[in-house]
Each structure stands twice: as C-alpha cells, then as structure tokens.
Amino acid sequence: MSAKNPEYDFKWCPGCGDFGVRRALEFGLQDYSSYHEQPMSNSVVIAGIGCSGNLVHLVEGEQPYGFHGIHGRTLPIAFGAKMARPELNVVVVAGDGDFLSIGMEHIAPQAARNLDICCVVMDNGVYGLTKGQSSPTTDLGVITTSTPYGKMEGDLNPLDYYLSIGVSFIASGYSSKPKDLGKLIQAGMEHKGFSIVHVMSPCTTYNDTYEQLKGNAKKGIEPIIFDVPASHNVTDREAARKLVSTSKVPIGIVYKNERPSLDKRLVELQGRVKVRSLQAQLDGFDL
C-alpha cells in the first residue's frame, strides 16, 4: 500500500483531481491521528471500484487499514466495520458513479442511522475507468461515450440530495486545494455522525472541468466554485438548501446537524435492555 510498490500497476492520468484528494486525505488522516493521539492503524479507509477506489492503495507515510471492496458497496462495508468496532475511525472514498449510481440505495439508510463515518466523494461527472460513460452528475444533453446523441436525463444535485435525506454533515470541496480539503475531511471525521465531503475532482481525460470550476478571466469564464460565505449559518437547513440550489458550487461546510449517531443509540439500548444469557435463551425452549 505504497506508491513505490513495483507490482502495483494502476496509474491515474496526469492532472487527475484524485491526486489532490489523496493528498488531502493524507493530511486529514494525519491530523486526526495526531489530534487524537491514535496510531494510524485505528483508521480504516474503505474504497469502492472506479478511479477513485484506487486511492486506498496510494496513501504515503504511516498506513491506515484499507478495504478495496466491490462496486457500489463502500457504505455497507463501512456500516459493518463501524458498528462492529465503534472505536475505529472509518472513512469511505468513492466516486460519483460508485456512490451516487450503483451505490445510491445505501446512502439514505446510513443518513437515517446517522452512522458515524466520513465519506469522501470524488465527483468528476463521468465514468473514467470504463472510459468516459455518463454518470448521475453528468449534465443533461452532454455527449459521452454512452450518450452519443446527448444525455437524456438531467443531472443530480448531490448536495441538495444529501440535504433532503438528512445527512448530518455536508461539506463541498475542490481537489486543487488539498490543504483546505484536508481540513474539511478532518472536520467530517470529527463530526459525530454521518458526514459527506463531496469533492469536485476533474477528469483530465474525459471531462476536464478545471477551467469552468476555477474560471478564466482572460477568456471571460466566470468560476463555478465560490467560498461558502462566512455569514452562512451551517445549522440552518433552509439556508443550506438555498446555498446549493444554484448552478454554482459552494466550497466549505454547507450543513451540520448534531443528533445521536447509531453507535451512541446502541450504547443507550445496551444500557436499557435486560439481556438474557445464552443459557437462559436455550432454557426458554425447555419442555
């Protein structure tokens, strides 16, 4: 699990946004580890399949545990790991295809449970690894290899979706600002509940959006990204909805809500319920 492993034969394209996300995740994990005085091995990174999934193999320095699973199932694997061992710091890394298309069914249940994990979602608006098909965040009408005459369905607004299903911490980041992104990821890890850091992470091969995101004054292109205003009240859901409901992308913490996470509710239940021993369970079937 190091970039230096000669056998490891996966490479991202030059300029891929995921390089920045990887760096940011390293910052976030290191800061989390030193702040809590925990070994890195107390953190678990669970990845799906796609370009984003390979992030789990490329973390430099002291290594966290990793799980490179199957397409779309990062969240349930994380659910099992976290509830088995609530003391672990569990982080999910996934792309827009893995998380929002095949894995979509798993987001709402974790939001309802308020599972205490942090998800880093890399959104490049395209399926990169399978070479350029449309994803849920590809815009209406866009031509991709799988939409040769233009995409026939509208694009999903992920931040608005997260808000609607009750995700308790929502942040939006940009891969070219790894230091800032690292802080957002760390804030997501610190949040006691289900957190998603949704990152614009462009694909230089199939959907190069750097210029649109950053803007280009010379060409007269207005940037899509903007910093969340300091005046934004992150606990105000309606304000958050307004913030994410434009054609632009806010960068920063969008929404935060404090409520008990599933592991806390489990501890509460364990304290409240009188448990029968296994022998008593068996005795219950006596003749």
Partner 1 sequence: MAKRHDFVVRFAGEGGQGVVTAAEALARIAADVGYHGLTFSTFPSQILGGPTWTQARISTKPVLSPGDAVDVLVALNEDAFETHKEDLGPEGVIVYDSSFTPKSSGRMFGLPFDDLAKEAGDIRTANMVMMGALANLVGMPIKYLQDFIVNRYLSRGQAIVDANMKAIASGSSGAAATTFQIGELEPPTKPTYKQTMIKGNEAVALGSLAAGLEVYIGYPISPATPILLHMERNLIGPGKFAYQSSSEIESITSIIGAGYAGKKSMTATSGPGLSLMAEGIGLAWMAEIPCVIVNVQRGGPATGLPTKTEQSDLNMALTPAHGDTLIPVIAPGSVEECFYAAALAMNWAERYQGPVILLSEMSLAERAQNIPKPDLSKVAQETRKVYTGTNGYERYDGYELSPMPLPGKPGAYVANGSEHDSMGDTTHLPSRHIQMTTRRFSKLHLLEENVYEAENNGASVAVVPWGGSRGPSREAFEQLTAQGVKNVGWYYTMRINPLPPKMLEELRKKDLVIVPELNYLGQFSAYLRGLGVKAESITQYTGLPFRPTALASHIKELAGKHARKAVRA
- Count of alpha carbons within 13 Å of 126, Cβ hemisphere only? 24
Can residue 22 be called a binding residue for partner 1 (CB under 8 A)? Answer: no
13 is an interface residue for partner 1 by CB under 8 A: no
Residue 11 makes contact with partner 1 by CB under 8 A: no
Q: How many residues make contact with partner 1 (CB under 8 A)?
A: 54
Segment interacting with partner 1 (CB under 8 A) among 29-37, 226-234, 238-246, 273-281: 273-281
**Residue of 11, 13, 60, 85 interacting with partner 1 (CB under 8 A):** 85
3-class DSSP assignment, residue 77: helix
C-alpha of 75 from chain center: 10
Question: Does position 78 bind partner 1 by CB under 8 A?
Answer: yes
As a residue count, the chain comes to 287
Q: Are 199 and 181 in contact (CB under 8 A)?
A: yes
Q: Report if residue 101 touches partner 1, rule: CB under 8 A.
A: no
The answer to whether residue 269 forms part of the interface with partner 1 (CB under 8 A) is: yes
**In this complex, which beta carbon is closest to partner 1, that of residue 43 or of residue 138?**
43
CB atoms within 10 A of CB 155: 16
Q: In this structure, what DSSP letter does residue 57 have?
A: G
Give the nearer residue to partner 1 in terms of CB position, either 39 or 150.
39
Beta carbons within 8 Å of 46's beta carbon, 6+ residues apart: 56, 66, 67, 69, 74, 77, 78, 81, 90, 91, 92, 93
Residue type, 168: S
Report angle CA 178, 114, 253 to the nearest 5 degrees. 35
Is 230 a binding residue for partner 1 by CB under 8 A? The answer is no
State the Cα–Cα distance between residues 33 and 40, nearest whole angstrom: 6
Nearer to partner 1, 74 or 172 (CB): 74
CA 241, 242, 246 angle in degrees (round to 5)? Answer: 110
Provide the mask over 33-62, with x wherever binding to partner 1 is found by CB under 8 A and - wherever it is not. Answer: ------xxxx-x-x--x----x-xx----x
Judge contact between 45 and 56, C-beta under 8 A.
yes
Contact between 1 and partner 1 by CB under 8 A: the answer reads: yes
* Per CB under 8 A, 84 contacts partner 1: yes
166 binds partner 1 (CB under 8 A): no
- Binding of residue 231 to partner 1 (CB under 8 A): no
Name which of 93 and 224 has its Cβ closer to partner 1: 93
Residues in touch with partner 1 (CB under 8 A): 1, 5, 7-10, 39-42, 44, 46, 49, 54, 56-57, 62-70, 73, 76-85, 87-88, 105-106, 109, 266, 269-270, 273, 275-276, 278-279, 281-282, 285-287
